[in-house]
Amino acid sequence: MKLYFSKSMVLMKAEFLRRMISAPVRSAVPDRASRLRFAVGPRLTSNVVEEIGASPVKAVARSGAGYTYSVCIDIHANDVRCMEIAKDYVVSCMAATANIGKTAMAEAAGMARSRLGQLVSPERIDALSYLVAHDTVGYGPISMLMEDRQGIEEIEVNSPDSWITIYSARYGRCLTNLRFVSEYAFRSTINRMVEDVDKELNESTPIVDAQVEDLRIHAQVRPYAVSGAAASIRIGGRKEITLEYMLRNGTVTPQALAYIWIALESKHNMIISGAPASGKTTALGALMAFVPANEKVVTVEEDVNEVRTAGVNSVIALYGSRYNSVTPKEQVINALRLRPSRIVVGEMRGEEARDLFMGANIGIAFAATMHSNEGGMQILKKLLVKPMGVETRSLSTLDVALYMKQVDISKRIVSGISEYRWLSRAEIERGEDVCGEDMVSVLEVMEGSGMSVAALQESKVMATYAKMHGITQKAALKEMDRRARLVQSALDAKGSGRSLEEEISRYGGW
């Protein structure tokens, strides 16, 4: 069948092709990029208990048995389109100056403000330009929440378009009025956050685990995230937890701190155990003030900068991730090659435990944290089985375990301290069987709120300290009392004006 075209049809077709060829190519990406990546819902402020910051205000409100966290900006029907126009303008300005990726938040807000001045009423310009700036050069809702670093410990995304939740140090888990608008928006935001560490969340790498400055980012997309997308962003750099803070908050008693001080000074191997969010790593960082300044300490962490070693003169910090080519196990092995006096592991979960205990067998002391719902024998049972799989003959190097417990949202306590005494080290004559290869006796030095006087009189920590200094066990217990009084003084008068950590570093000991 033949088709016949009139002269006018031929001319129209020629004109159409001419325009298509001469017109600049415009892909779908700029159009998609000009859309907002997140949405702000109605503020959840029916029963406000606290307002945080300004411009805009963040409000915490009571909701049933829990709390909500709102960014107090009201979005009108036409605002989204106006913000998209402003965002497109900001991106164009940055592209014209070749400044994409380098524009500061305030500069982007200024560009957005100039464009929004033509579109919305003056009283709404500041709020909307704030949102455009975070969408353009920030991390959308993530960077908005990160402004409250002192109060927020973790930002949680459970699906691509569900309301984001946060974990507040004071109020626990709170629902926010912020969300991503799509899986694409979520993925592009995460990729912007991890681009400086050469990672990307996509179909070929659907799981990303990254440390970016003081942020620990873990994100997943399909097929592993059934909802389409999920992320946990832990925020570091919050208020530093000191020994004095732990004392004032009731986390630990002066007597318990004095005992831990002597245990670490005597190079006893220590584990801090507890459930997730019980304050294990925070406590470990604070207790490092008791490590003698002349030691060489190597720290191995997945969350960098969590363990503080400010009072130690020689410190090497190593980073290892289970999702990277260099794992915590490999970094523990590398730490053993650095000839340390002590190895500190921020969180012990896998095969690195085996190498850490093997290092203890050759005289390298350690301090570490691990997850456990109970203390005492439960810790030993978890260490013996996979994924940790510590050898029985190495297990006897463990001396002391602290058990941490979360009492409420803002309070954690040291609820127990155990000493392990081993048949293979001639510390006991009989005890509980350990895999048919050794025997152990667990001495509860602290249960509940107070130290056991009877247990301290049998304590191997006190016995080791006494032997080191050529004194009696009774004299060692008196030394512990002296240190407890020094620690207690931090809760009383200001004294010399020095911090408790400075007082500890100046203390001469026996």
**pLDDT tens over the chain, length 510 residues:** 444 444 444 444 444 334 433 333 333 334 556 789 999 999 887 789 999 988 899 999 998 888 999 999 999 888 999 999 999 999 888 887 766 555 688 899 999 999 999 999 999 999 999 999 999 999 999 999 999 988 898 999 999 999 999 999 888 899 999 999 999 999 999 999 999 888 999 999 999 988 888 888 999 999 999 999 999 998 875 556 789 889 988 899 999 999 999 999 999 999 999 998 888 988 999 999 999 988 999 999 886 666 777 777 788 888 887 666 788 999 999 999 999 999 999 999 999 999 999 999 999 999 999 999 888 999 999 999 999 999 999 999 999 999 999 887 778 899 999 999 999 999 999 999 998 899 999 999 998 778 999 999 999 999 999 999 999 999 999 999 999 999 998 777 655 567 888 888 888 766
In which residue ranges of the chain is CATH 3.40.50.300 found?
A: 243-506
In which residue ranges of the chain is CATH 3.30.450.380 found?
A: 30-235
pLDDT of residue 248: 87
pLDDT of residue 103: 67
Q: What is the CATH number of domain 243-506?
A: 3.40.50.300
> Using an 8 Å Cβ cutoff, are 253 and 451 in contact?
yes
pLDDT of residue 95: 81
CA gap 28, 168 in Å, rounded = 39
pLDDT digits (tens, 9 = 90+) for 263-314: 999 999 999 999 988 889 889 999 999 999 889 999 998 866 667 777 777 8
| CA separation, residue 434 to residues 6, 440, 484 (Å) | 97, 7, 35
202: which DSSP letter? S
Q: What is the side-by-side order of every strand in the sheet holding 215-221? A: 48-52, 58-63, 66-71, 172-176, 165-168, 152-157, 229-235, 215-221, 207-212
CA gap 308, 72 in Å, rounded = 36
CB proximity list for 149: less than 8 A, separation 6 or greater:
235, 237, 238
Helix, strand and coil percent figures for the chain, each rounded to 5 = 35, 25, 40
pLDDT of residue 383: 96
> Cβ–Cβ contacts within 10 Å for residue 393, how many?
14
pLDDT of residue 138: 92
pTM for this predicted structure: 0.77
Helices (H), 288-434: 328-337, 352-361, 377-384, 392-395
pLDDT digits (tens, 9 = 90+) for 191-214: 999 998 889 999 999 999 888 888
Q: Which fold has domain 30-235?
A: Beta-Lactamase (3.30.450)
Strand partners, 11: none
Q: What angle do CA 323, 328, 329 make, to 5 degrees?
A: 115
CA gap 66, 311 in Å, rounded = 40
- Cis amide prior to 30 (ω within 30 degrees): no
pLDDT digits (tens, 9 = 90+) for 225-265: 999 999 999 887 555 678 988 998 889 999 999 999 999 99
| CA separation, residue 329 to residues 97, 132, 325, 387, 395 (Å) | 47, 44, 11, 12, 17
pLDDT of residue 317: 87
> Using an 8 Å Cβ cutoff, are 271 and 370 in contact?
yes
Closest CA to 306 of 336, 339, 272, 264: 272
Phi and psi at residue 339, in whole multiples of 5°?
A: 55, 55
